[in-house]
């Protein structure tokens, strides 16, 4: 994992956000923009809890309402199947 990331986007189910924030914490620098898709309520609080309030204050967080596609993992880490575009 590169240590000079400017942007991280979690295109993951919201219940995995905390796990990934913890795993990526050693590799993130202050000032990074971190986004979540879908951005269930509380992503900001989860980031503060796992990364620290000073880190979050000096970085950018954003969340999108939902993922635009329905997808499933075919082969972990290398392939997904796009089942279709969501109506809303």
Nearest alpha carbon to residue 64 among 34, 87, 30:
34
CA distance 71 to 85: 9
1 confidence band (pLDDT: 50, 70, 90): low
Within 13 Å and on the Cβ side, how many CA atoms surround 27? 13
CA distance 14 to 11: 9
Q: How far apart are the first and last CA of the chain?
A: 33
Q: Check residue 35 and give its pLDDT.
A: 93
Q: What is the pLDDT of residues 25-75, one digit of tens each?
A: 999 999 999 999 887 778 999 999 999 999 999 999 998 877 777 888 899
Average pLDDT over residues 4-9: 89
Q: Check residue 88 and give its pLDDT.
A: 64
Checking if the pLDDT of 10 tops 80, the result is yes
């Amino acid at each position: 994992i590169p240590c000079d990331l400017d942007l991280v986007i979690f295109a993951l189910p919201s219940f995995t956000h905390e796990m990934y924030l913890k795993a990526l914490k050693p590799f993130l620098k202050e000032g990074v923009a971190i986004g979540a898709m879908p951005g269930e309520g509380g992503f900001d609080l989860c980031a503060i809890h796992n990364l620290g309030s000073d880190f979050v204050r000096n970085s950018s967080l954003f969340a999108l309402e939902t993922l635009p596609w329905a997808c499933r993992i075919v082969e972990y880490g290398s392939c997904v199947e796009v089942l279709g575009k969501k109506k809303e």
